[in-house]
């Protein structure tokens, strides 16, 4: 366990940041799940709209340090390809 005052503070900060990051990660995954549900249902218009709202949310998670930039780009790219294939 932490002994010095500085290390105790670091533990408190880590707990607080973990909660915030967990909520942000959950929010991002919810947006991704909405796109995937629209794809599986076969609704191209709904999938396109869901993707349009999910893209900024995924990129926001990059600026908040939840995802790496390339990871977010890969997720967006793969979702976009699936939505495009559904439309075609």
Residue 88's pLDDT band (cuts 50, 70, 90) = confident
Check: CATH 1.20.58.110 for 5-87? yes
The pLDDT > 90 percentage for the chain reads 94
Q: What rounded mean pLDDT belongs to the chain?
A: 95
The pLDDT of 26-37, averaged and rounded, is 97
- As a whole number of angstroms, the distance between CA 26 and CA 83 comes to 22
Assess whether pLDDT exceeds 70 at residue 45. yes
Residue 23's pLDDT band (cuts 50, 70, 90) = very high
- As a whole number of angstroms, the distance between CA 15 and CA 22 comes to 11
Q: Where are the domains of the chain?
A: 5-87
Please tell me the predicted confidence (pLDDT) of residue 2: 73
Closest CA to 46 of 35, 31, 55: 35
Q: For the chain, how many residues are written?
A: 88
């Amino acid at each position: 366990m932490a002994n010095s005052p500085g290390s105790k503070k670091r533990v408190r900060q880590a707990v607080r940041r973990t909660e915030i990051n967990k909520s942000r990660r959950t929010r991002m995954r919810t947006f991704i799940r909405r796109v995937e549900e629209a794809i599986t249902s076969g609704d191209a218009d709904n999938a396109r709209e869901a993707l349009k709202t999910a893209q900024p949310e995924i990129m926001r998670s990059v600026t908040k340090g939840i995802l790496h930039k390339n990871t977010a780009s890969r997720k967006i790219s793969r979702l976009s390809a699936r939505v495009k294939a559904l439309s075609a």
